[in-house]
Each structure stands twice: as C-alpha cells, then as structure tokens.
Structure 1
C-alpha cells in the first residue's frame, strides 16, 4: 500500500516563485503523512504562456525553483512534479535553447535520474498541436530525441524505481497528452503496459470543456485497465489564457483502480492535497461524479470570471443591463461573488427602449440587491446626430467634398457605441472598475453586435455559450444557485431584441433577426461540429429532407414555418455564412477575451483568417437545383 498525496494546486501562469511557494508549503505540511506527493504538469511555470518560453531569464527562474523543491524533499516525502527542463547545450528547431515539457522525481533532497534518458527528468512524448495547444512550437519530445540519437523512442518510456519502506516500487510516469494517445502513431501507454509498472502517474494541465470529465474517466479508466495497475491522475486548478481565450482548469484529480474504476475524485476547482492509500492490486468500490452539463458550465463561468477579476486586480464590475437574458445572466453570475457595492448595473435607454425592458432591468437589480443607475442616451445621441448629419467634409484645397448622412443603420450602431465606448467605459472608470461584454456565441459567430459598442469590455463571460445555453444558465441560477427568482420571469419571456429602432419593438413581438432555436444549431455545425459543415452540406441536407434531424432542431420546429421556399432558405443561409467569414472575423479579432467552456471557443481555439466567403462548385450546383425545383 502506497500513501499518495494528490496535490491539486491552483497554478499561476508565469509566476514560478508563487507556484513554488505553494509547493514548498505543502511539502513541509505533509512530512510524515504520505510517501509521495504528486503535483500537476508544468506546475512551476504554468502552461499557457504564449512566447514567454523564449525568455532565458524566465527559464533560469524555473530552474532555480525546481532545485529548491528538490532540496525540500531532504526530509521527505518523495515528490514528482512538472516543470520546463532546459538543455542549454542543444537547440530547438527555432534555434533557441532546447526545452522539454518534463517531470521530475525527487527524494531525500536528490533527483532520480531517468533510467534510459540518463537525465534528471523524464520527457513528454506526445506534444499536442491542435485547438488551443501548441506544445510543439516550444518543446522537444522523446520522439525527436530518439531520432536524433538513433534509438527507438519506446526506450525512453520506462518506469522509474522509487524505494518505499525498503521495497522497490516501479512508477510509470507520463504527462497529460501521453495518455490521449489513440490518434497518434506512437502510443506511450501501450508501451508502459508492456513494461508493467506497479503504479502509473499522469501529471496533467488539462483545461475544462463541457463533458470533458466524463471523457477523462473513459480514457484514463481504459488506460488503467490496459496497464493493469492503479493510475493516479493529477490536474491543476486555476485559470490560464493564451492572450485571447481564457480557460478554467477544473482539477478533478482522480485515482483509478487497476481495472479502471474510479476510487476517488477531488472536487472541481478545489485547491488542496487529498491523501489516498493506493493498493497495487485488488478491485475497489468506486464513485463517479454525475454533474449535469449546465452545472459544469455554471461552475466554469463563475470560477473563471471570479479568478480573472482577481488576476487583473479589481473587484468592481459594471454591467450594462438591457432587460434581456444575456445581460441578466452576466449580472447574476457576478453577483454570486461580488459584494452588493462592488456590482453596478446600468440601464441606458433611448426612445426605442420599452417600459417593459426598463422595468425588468430595474427589477433584476432590486432582486440582486446591487447598485443601479439609469442613464438615458437620447440627449447625447441627439448631439452626435446633429453634429454629423448633413455635415460637409471638404479637402483643404477645396477639390474634394462629401456630405455625411446618418441613416437608420448608422444610427443603430451609434446607439450601441454610445452605450459602450462612451458611457459604460466612463462609468467603469468613475466606479474604479471594469465593464463586462454580454455577447453570446451565436452573436459572435455572425458579428451580430457593434464593435466598440456591445462588443466591448474586459471579458466576455458568456462568449462561448449559445443562446439556448444562456437561457438554461439563467434557469439554473434561479432554480439551483439562488433558489429564488433573481432573474425576473419576464426576461425569459420577452422577445430577444437590441431595441435600436421601431422595427425591434419588443411589446409588438419584434426583435433580433436570429431565429435562435435554428441558428444556434446551424452556427454550431459551422463552428463546433467535428466534421465542420459548410453551406454545401447544409443545402444538401435541406434538399434531401434530413436537415432538421441533422442539426438536432427542437421537436416541433419546422423549417417551412420560417422559410416557406428554397429561395428564402438560401438567402438566409448565405447572409449568415458571408457574415461569419467576413466582417464577423474582424469583430472577433477585436472582441474582449472569451471564457471558454466548449471545444472551439473563438480565439486561439478557433483559428481563422481575414478573407471573404466562398462557395464550392458543388454548392453552386445544389443552389441552382434548389431554385429550379
């Protein structure tokens, strides 16, 4: 029996001293209480650090703290942890010092040498280079090392021996992606299975996405069963980002039995050490967390928003509330962890805003018990419109001139920018805080929002949630979090609308041009589906009558109700596809950071280029066929 401490720590990216201090404290606190402490992957430097890996001073700082951690094991317990390892005498393919994503095993104040690498660390074999991951940009792996020195890479996936109570214990230690091997040609876990370790350790830095934990259990349970030994999975907590997309790391460190059962699982986002007695044989009763997806989404959004505020050093937030669902959910999430005098809701009506939505915004603030302000924009809009409309701009030599015109569409955008760039920004500065961006993923997909207007703020906490997710989160907040109606029922019932003109009058049932039950799922197929759809696949399914099923439209939703013929369907399809690939890209590039909860969050998880929409030849043929039926 081995007593193992699962060290689920909040990793602070780019702060090796801060991370090492946590580790040193936990090592000191657990002397005599366990045999082995297991920390996460890259727990000293952090994981998502952009190109900070190119700074030699930063690398030396990581090495310094690594040595301090090793020295701290002089009086026990043994420790395994993740850090960057540097071979200053070799180069990466970019010409910079060679770096490895490495694990280090230390005991009695000394490092255990890897038995086949003959280095004071082990090296990650599989470097993910997809979605938000770009390990191969910075790190060398065992596959390249093997090729360089002419040895099989399998030689470097080797158990290391740890003496426990006078008995040698063979540990198979791997890092995160090494267990997610199924789509790789090289399979480290299969190699370990042939070498029969007594215990397998997986040190991870694994960000949360919806449904991720269930997949982890399937993957790691299968690997434990394959190897035939217990498996200890240790993941970090905290938030990290790649400059554009913010990720929560949910921890959920877990011990699996030799036959793949879950023996113990730490709570999501918990920080601390859980000590587990791990047997190297036998079968144990297991418990598996059964959180619903909406619970996980809520926890990620709340945790991510709170920790991001903490990381930028502020506790005050301004939320522009319209009386609609997006701003209401944002406000309710912030109200969970901010004090009443740290949250200011601001309603900014014009003549197009109904008394219905204005009253709903006020009721929301009353229910949350936070600060509230109503700051009309009609007067300032009038000044801007008067200043610009019919103004004649003339070149200084008098040769060229043009007359400005504030048409309806321009005036709609002026309202949004007056609320965001002028008023909310000024209110936040006066309040000593920041203001939130309340946009959702459907709007971001097609750029249905005004740059520097409602697409502005310090963070888009709902930017990776489809509209139906926002409604579900609102229901969850009322029913499970607050257990009372903080978001008024009228907000769920009111027609979603920007209320920027008389054509969006909510009391007349007029609102956004998006049909959310349909467009949510259409846009999902473009952005998140594994085999990402284009208009070609969509039109093909429309013509053969399978589109409603293919998109998973709600029961009872009929396309014919909204698009009575092929022409109207195609017009709508091409409108949004052109926006998604056109101006919406420019808006997303300039949008606030997005808090990721799914695969393919906008930013570095959904990489794109500025171009224009194109349609395949097959689509053009299908279109011609559809319009002539």
Structure 2
C-alpha cells in the first residue's frame, strides 16, 4: 500500500511507525519501528533499523539508490517482542524485585518461558519449580530438571500429592474427577505465588493462545501470573520461538529435545494429552489455525463449513494434505469438532477477562485488542443450512446395511431405497450363519441369496454384498467397518441400524454396548444411521456419539414374526414384494404349506 501510494502520487513518501513498547493494561504491544522513506516511484531508499528509537537525519535525493526492505523473520520477531516485553515490564520494578518463579513441567511452554526470562533477567533472577504428582510423566520431569541445569537457574522439586490428597479429602473431591484435576492446578499456583512472595518477585503465566482461546486452563491455577508472554502465540509459534532461542540466543540446546518431542500435556492425570491438533516446527496444526481464524481473520463457523465443503479448507489454513481426513473420518466428526470448539471459544471469555496481561504478537489478540462479551455461542441460520446440506450430501459417503433379511420384507426394501438416496452407495449385507440366530442356518445360502437379489437387486444405488453367504461366515459390525474402509479408503463408512439397538445408550446399556463384540469401541468409533420407527421409544440422549437419524414409517416388525406368519398361513402379501413371495411359495420356505 505504501509503495502504491507513493507511485500514485508521484511524490516521495515517508512512513513513520511507532517503536518501543506500549502497555495498555490487558495487553503489551511491541512496535518494530522500521520507519521508511520511499522515492517518487514508490521504492524504498532508506529504512530505520528495526526496534530502534530516536531521531534520524536523512537528506532526500531523487537519484538515491533503492534498498532491499528487511525480510520478515517470524522467529526472530517473536523473540524480539518477548525480550522487549519483559524488559519493559520490569523496567519500573525495583532492581531487588526483578525476579520470577516459573512452574517448570518439562513441556515446551514452560521451557520457552524459562529461557526467555533467563536471557533478560539473568540466571540469578529465575527460579524454576517442578511440582509433580505420583502419576506425572518421569520423562518430562527429567526434561524440566535438564532445562533448569542448562540455563543455570535455581531448580526445586516440590511434590504436591500429599497436599492435593489432604484438600481433596477435606472438600470431598473424588479422585480422578475434573475437580480433582483443577485442585492440582490451583495447588501448583499457590506454591508459585508463595515462593514468589518469599523471594520478593513475581510468578509467570505459561499458557499459549490455543489454551486461552478454548479455556484449557484453571482460574486460580495455570491461568494466573504476572505476565503471559506466550498468550498470543499458537503452539507452532511457541516451538518456533524455542528453536530460535536454542540456535540463535544461546547457541546450544538449552531447551532439551524431549520438550519438543513429547506430546503436550496438562499433567493432571496419568498419560494425559492435550486435546488439540497443535502445530510444530515442521507443520501447522488444525486447532492452531482455527484459533487464528476465529481471532486474527474473524472467520466464522460458516466460513469453515463452506471451505470444508468445497475441499479448500486445508489450503486456506496452509495445512498438510490429508490433515482433515486424519482428524475427521466423516463430515459429522468435522462438524462436531467445529461446534465444540466454537462453544468453548465463547464459553471461555470469563476466564480470559481475568487472565494476566498478554503480549501482542499477532494482528488481533485477546484483551483490549479484541473486545468480547459474555454471551453464549450462536450458530446462524446460514450455518445451520450449510450444516444440513453437508450432512445430506451423498458424495463420499457409503452406508452398510447389514441384517439377516430372512426373509427380506417390504420395509427392508424401503429402508434400502432411502439409504441409497442419502448416500453415494448403499450396500446390503445379508449375514452368514449366526449362533445367536439359528434361523439363518435353516434356509440355504443359495435361497437367501436369491431372496436378497429379488428384494434389493433392482433398487437404484443399492448393491448386495454376498460375501458372508458365499463363505458361510458372519461379519460383525467392527469387521464390516474394517473391510469397507479398506475397500474405500477415501470414503466415509456408515452403518444402518435399527433404533431398538441404541435404547439405553446414555447409560451404557444398549444392545450394541452390552451384546455386540467390542461393543464399547464400536459404539464410540463407528458412524451410525439410526433408523427410528414411531413405535420405538426414542431419546436423543441414547444416540451413539457419531450418528444421524433416519425416520421411518410404521413398518412390520422382525423377520421372525414374518416367518411365523408364513408358517401359520397368515396373509403376508402386503409386507413382501411379489417376486419374493413367489420364490418362498415355489421353494416352500419358512414352513410354507401351500394355500389354505
């Protein structure tokens, strides 16, 4: 813009920018300066050094040679901003109080924080404290110790297990509960605050922008401190800053490789991992870029859905190809994650407003730079329309409709037809012999194949998979899922089931969870199309985590009832296709004894 303006006016242009630091309470802003003089052609001929303050003399001449503008170095800019912020923050603090206490977990956030303060304040002004629970990761504990030793700062280990157990007992807090986890975080904060007061200094806040955006922190715990130097950096930027300090500031690896390699954790329970797709030095993370989208670029959920539907989201967020498929097997998974984090984003403002000052390093961050209100998350009419369209888009979706179909009734055909209209392909899978259903072995495989062919063979978009019948085998749901994912690796695989199978799901008592092989795993991981009939007492709370509902008209019941009607000579013409009924009569199947 500056170049264009100078060229358009055919006049020299002087761009003057702030330098130094501005403290506005909730935010600390570092200005890089770099005031520049442009000639009448809009080309730069003089630039003030980055972050320099003062008066600079310059005599303009039309014939002056142009210069190359300073290239942006993200990691260097991050470090310079952090360094300037810490220097400014402590400049008005008495010399004897320029000390910090840092909770040192061994992770990348606390290691980066320690390295930054050590560089600015000196080794004698930094105290690192590791506060493990009995189940804390020993690998990260060793990394915390190694970081402090590499920096030459004081290091303490204060175990908090007894303190947490005592308070949990007094408060009646259940071990393993969320309250128990938050109690650990607040206990650690109390230790840091106490030690800071003892030495006459401050304690730091180590949270990053992703954690702040989604409220992944505890008030009165890890969201407390004097200053959040990482509070406007997504995780990838924290890794960049840590790597830069190792290479350029210290010239050696003061932050150990373990801190880069170990999965980030809040260290509040055994084997805990942060629930985000973070970036690192090598790649961008989806939830990193989601936060940047929500804040810096003002992207709404509608934008995310539109880009996802057009298969542009990965390129727009500069993600590695395949990232979204890795994270979200289906569009339903994608939408659930988006809605979850939009709600978390809005639901965490009450934490952010009470958080310590944040250093600004992006175009828009929390605090005075980004005005927020304590309001619930809202999904616009446009978003709901896009969501419905995406879920109803049959492309890239395959549904597997398994059952005995012994015999296949008219309602089975109607369901298969509905499924074919909603999915790219619908596969009907008549099962082989089942121990829990002796009736499957009372009709020959050849007869069952012929019945399935007559019932489903002419329905557009429906294919019948005869593998089980041909091999006298029963493929349970988990195995069908594996088979179809292997056949169609780029498709979403869904499984059509009757609504009766999910009753009690909210309490872990559905037939899927209690009877099916690997039931709990199947319940959590498979995608289900739940077919609901009016006579089924259905509650949305019983639905599996990854499911959609397909409503059906009142239909005839189980195949066992149909077989009984055939054997008793009752009327069945209205609930069977004519060609299916003709074959049953021709072969005397299911106890058919001829016309009465």
TM-score, normalized by the shorter chain, greater than 0.5:
yes
* Contact kept? 1:264, 1:287, Cα under 8 Å: no
Deviation of the 1:595 alpha carbon: 0.2
Matched, 1:363 2:146: yes
**What does residue 251 of structure 2 align with?**
483
**What does residue 249 of structure 1 align with?**
31
Equivalenced residues, count: 385
Matched, 1:340 2:107: no
Q: 1:226 to 1:565 in 2, by over 3 A?
A: closer
Out of 336, 348, 359, the position equivalent to 1:571 is 336
Q: 1:233 to 1:614 in 2, by over 3 A?
A: closer
Report 1:107-506 matches (<5 A): 218-219=1-2, 221-279=3-61, 281-313=62-94, 314-389=97-172, 408-420=177-189, 422-504=190-272
Q: 1:433 to 1:225 in 2, by over 3 A?
A: same
Deviation of the 1:625 alpha carbon: 3.8
Tell me the distance in 2 between the aligned counterparts of 1:413 and 1:515: 22
Tell me the distance in 2 between the aligned counterparts of 1:383 and 1:497: 24
Matched, 1:617 2:381: yes
* Contact kept? 2:227, 2:358, Cα under 8 Å: yes
Deviation of the 1:333 alpha carbon: 1.1
Deviation of the 1:265 alpha carbon: 1.8
Aligned CA-pair RMSD: 1.9
Secondary structure of 1:361 counterpart? helix
Secondary structure of 1:345 counterpart? strand
Secondary structure of 1:346 counterpart? strand
* 1:400-453: CA deviation from partner (whole Å, max 9, x where unpaired): xxxx75661111111111111x11111111121111111111111111111121
Q: Which has the larger radius of gyration?
A: 2
**What does residue 169 of structure 1 align with?**
none
Q: 1:563 to 1:224 in 2, by over 3 A?
A: closer
Which has the bigger relative contact order, CA under 8 A and spacing at least 6? 1
**What does residue 275 of structure 2 align with?**
513
Q: 1:285 to 1:348 in 2, by over 3 A?
A: same
Tell me the distance in 1 between the aligned counterparts of 2:44 and 2:200: 47
Deviation of the 1:227 alpha carbon: 4.0
For structure 1, the 5+ residue unaligned runs are 1-217, 390-403, 505-510
**What does residue 299 of structure 2 align with?**
533
Tell me the distance in 2 between the aligned counterparts of 1:545 and 1:223: 37
Matched, 1:544 2:325: no
Deviation of the 1:588 alpha carbon: 0.7
* 1:106-152: CA deviation from partner (whole Å, max 9, x where unpaired): xxxxxxxxxxxxxxxxxxxxxxxxxxxxxxxxxxxxxxxxxxxxxxx
* Contact kept? 2:314, 2:321, Cα under 8 Å: no
**What does residue 356 of structure 2 align with?**
592
Deviation of the 1:520 alpha carbon: 0.8
Tell me the distance in 1 between the aligned counterparts of 2:15 and 2:387: 51
Deviation of the 1:229 alpha carbon: 4.1
For structure 2, the 5+ residue unaligned runs are 279-284, 395-596
Secondary structure of 2:255 counterpart? coil
Tell me the distance in 1 between the aligned counterparts of 2:72 and 2:386: 44
* Contact kept? 2:87, 2:120, Cα under 8 Å: yes
Q: Using structure 2 for the length normalisation, give the TM-score.
A: 0.62
* 1:286-329: CA deviation from partner (whole Å, max 9, x where unpaired): 24222412211211111112211213444211111111111111
Secondary structure of 1:275 counterpart? coil
